[in-house]
């Protein structure tokens, strides 16, 4: 029996592409905890959310292999990569899935569009403890030093405590030096949305086209009360939000029962 | 003032492409209720989830315009189309967003991958009452007769009652004749997942590629108890699941507080 057989098997993925600094950083951290299989795409997949590829076949290439480590390149989305790994590349069910470290925030409703969190949610649906990490710095050469310490801490806790089936963690890290980080806060998703401002341009042939631009609009009073991820991040805390893949609005489901009384026919 | 100014403004979109039968059907139904702006892509966008297009610009073309109706073609995903409509194509905030009618089920965890529901959730994030409709029939020439009656009923209710901010409806319709439909059930999302079986093939040049195939695996005991969408559909009821865009796992968030006691440093 190889020594690695007793170590956790960790799947690492991201949505910024296989050469992203945050991905290399997360692989390095994961290797401290166990055997690592990494998979990502050549091109950035930001904004791919939970998209899957149905109409074209996927390609996979083993780029690197050494003791306790394999790295694959795929043509698929982050969720495609997770599915491929689970079902065709890993010899057994992984003990942990790590996604990131994303270059840029995935707090509040940004999670809806996030390929990083799409991959983490795919892990949760498949009952694998999964964590998505994002640093609030979009730059290619972002500094992940403070993020590394946070990632180690959260990974250690999840390996020890586990996560309930169908729930993953959305971890966002403020872009400040480690010395200015005030700790971790367990939060709920702030009520906010992306306010788009499409920029309309005309191409050299006279046809219009649109570029998606926009800024995040926080609907929370006073920038989000204590307890929201936006408040935590603005105050130099790391936000950890547990995310569920059961998207039922349970409190409203109860209220909908009242609709029955007003004439909507409802199964008995 | 034109007569149409007092009628609801309804945005209609889908993920099966602009020529899909279910899209044409939903436009026809929407026109009974108000002024309609429709937008979709040339090619099917199934599995696009909440994906947005960041790296390439979007194109939009007005295909058809008559009194109280406009139809646009876009190169974007379903969510791109909704964003474009909200911010660049509609003169005012729409009163309702309808997505579908999808050719094929979007029940249980299929919602995670669904472009139909991605579009509906984008409406909900923007505080527009939004409904996604799906018929459990993948065929191009699926029969939407029973679906039409259901869609009218749900639209009427939502126009009358409204929906809370951030919540949309996921409506799935069994593929049975209208006479065999047993009514509508308000449900929660069944616990299930897609079990993938990638089919590995070799191309004419000797390189491997993978096709995503799979089947839905229902984790609920006995196919899902009363109250799940899967149970409703299997028993010929229409399932209506309220979906929230706040994805925080609130009950587990409470439990996470206990992690603090076991050494995880947590902001004060």
Q: What is the mean pLDDT of chain A?
A: 89
Q: Which of B88, B212, B253 has its CB closest to that of A52?
A: B212
Q: How does pLDDT run across B175-213, given as a tens digit for each residue?
A: 999 999 999 999 999 987 666 678 888 888 888 888 877
B64, with CB counted inside 10 A (0-12, 13-18, 19+), is exposed
Count of the separate structural domains present in chain A = 1
Number of Cβ within 10 Å of residue A200's Cβ equals 11
Give the mean model confidence (pLDDT) for residues B114-121.
95
Contact A188 B253 (CB under 8 A): yes
The enclosing domain of A230 has a CATH number of 3.40.1210.10
Spell out which residues of chain A touch residue B248, defining contact as CB-CB under 8 Å: 188-189, 241-244
Structural domain contains residue A263: no
Give the mean model confidence (pLDDT) for residues A72-86.
94
Q: How does pLDDT run across B237-267, given as a tens digit for each residue?
A: 999 999 999 999 999 999 988 877 665 555 5
Structural domain contains residue A20: yes
Q: Looking up tokens 């570029």, which residue turns up?
A: A211
* DSSP 8-state code for residue B126: T
What is the reported pLDDT for A2?
A: 46
Contact A49 B52 (CB under 8 A): yes
Structural domain contains residue A152: yes
Contact B50 A113 (CB under 8 A): yes
Structural domain contains residue B124: yes
Ranking A158-162, B121-125, B209-213 by mean pLDDT, the lowest is: B209-213
Give the mean model confidence (pLDDT) for residues A131-158.
96
Q: How many CB pairs under 8 A join A and B?
A: 232
What is the reported pLDDT for B49?
A: 85
The answer to whether B68 touches B35, Cβ cutoff 8 Å, is yes
The answer to whether A213 touches A198, Cβ cutoff 8 Å, is yes
The model carries a pTM of 0.90
Name the β-bridge partners of A10: A36, A96
* DSSP 8-state code for residue B232: H
Contact B182 A267 (CB under 8 A): yes
What is the reported pLDDT for A218?
A: 66
Query: Is B246 strand, coil or helix?
Result: coil
User: Which residue is closest to A46 within chain B, CA to CA?
Assistant: B54
Q: Which of A48, A54, A193 has its CB closest to that of B51?
A: A48
Give the mean model confidence (pLDDT) for residues B31-44.
94
Give the mean model confidence (pLDDT) for residues A213-223.
65
DSSP B64-111: EEETTEEEEEESS-HHHHHHHIIIII-SS--SEEEEEEEES---GGGG
Q: Distance, in angstroms, between B16 CA and closest chain A CA?
A: 12
Structural domain contains residue A144: yes
Q: Which of B87, B161, B257 has its CB closest to that of A196?
A: B87
Pairing of strands B96-103, B69-74: unpaired
Spell out which residues of chain B touch residue A84, defining contact as CB-CB under 8 Å: 198, 210
Structural domain contains residue A258: no
Determine the Cα–Cα distance for residues A229 and B90; give it in Å rounded to an integer: 32
Spell out which residues of chain A touch residue B185, defining contact as CB-CB under 8 Å: 266-267
Spell out which residues of chain A touch residue B160, defining contact as CB-CB under 8 Å: 262
Contact A209 B58 (CB under 8 A): yes
Residue A132 in this model has a pLDDT that exceeds 50: yes
Q: Which of B58, B210, B265 has its CB closest to that of A60?
A: B210
Give phi and psi for B34, each to the nearest 5. Answer: 180, -170
What is the reported pLDDT for A264?
A: 60
The answer to whether B245 touches B120, Cβ cutoff 8 Å, is no
What is the reported pLDDT for B13?
A: 97
Residue A29 in this model has a pLDDT that exceeds 60: yes
Determine the Cα–Cα distance for residues B259 and A10; give it in Å rounded to an integer: 22
Percent of chain B clearing pLDDT 90 (strictly above): 69
Structural domain contains residue A61: yes
The answer to whether B16 touches B103, Cβ cutoff 8 Å, is yes
SS3 content of chain B, % helix, strand, coil (to 5): 30, 30, 40
Q: Distance, in angstroms, between A221 CA and closest chain B CA?
A: 16
Determine the Cα–Cα distance for residues A158 and A168; give it in Å rounded to an integer: 10
DSSP count for chain A of H helices, then E strands: 6, 13
Structural domain contains residue B268: no
Determine the Cα–Cα distance for residues A96 and A116; give it in Å rounded to an integer: 15
What is the reported pLDDT for A225?
A: 72
Domain of B73 in residue numbering reads as 3-191+221-261
Q: Which of A49, A167, A248 has its CB closest to that of B118?
A: A49
Determine the Cα–Cα distance for residues B134 and A2; give it in Å rounded to an integer: 50
Contact B256 A242 (CB under 8 A): yes
Contact B245 A55 (CB under 8 A): no
């Amino acid at each position: 029996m190889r020594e690695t057989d007793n170590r956790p098997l960790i799947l690492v993925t991201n949505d910024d592409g296989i050469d992203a600094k945050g991905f290399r950083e997360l692989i390095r951290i994961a290797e401290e905890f166990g055997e690592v299989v990494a998979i990502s795409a050549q091109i950035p997949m930001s904004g791919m959310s939970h998209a899957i590829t149905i109409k074209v076949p996927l390609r996979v290439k083993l780029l690197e292999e050494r003791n306790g480590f394999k790295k694959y390149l795929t043509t698929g989305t982050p969720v495609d990569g997770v599915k491929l790994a689970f079902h065709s590349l890993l010899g057994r069910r992984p003990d942990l899935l790590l996604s990131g470290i994303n270059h840029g925030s995935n707090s509040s409703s940004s999670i809806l569009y996030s390929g990083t969190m799409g991959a983490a949610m795919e892990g949760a649906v498949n009952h694998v403890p999964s964590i998505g990490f994002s640093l609030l710095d979009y730059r290619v050469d972002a500094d992940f030093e403070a993020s590394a310490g946070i990632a180690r801490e959260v990974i250690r806790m999840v390996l020890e405590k586990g996560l309930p089936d169908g729930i993953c963690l959305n971890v966002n890290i403020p872009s400040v030096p480690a010395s200015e980080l005030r700790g971790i806060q367990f939060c709920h998703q702030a009520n906010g949305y992306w306010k788009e401002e499409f920029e309309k341009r005309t191409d050299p042939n006279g046809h219009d086209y649109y570029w998606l631009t926009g800024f995040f609009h926080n609907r929370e009073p006073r920038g989000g009360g204590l307890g929201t991820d936006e408040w935590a991040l603005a105050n130099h805390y790391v936000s950890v939000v547990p995310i569920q893949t059961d998207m039922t609005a349970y409190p409203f489901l109860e209220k909908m029962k009242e609709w029955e009384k007003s004439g909507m026919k409802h199964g008995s």
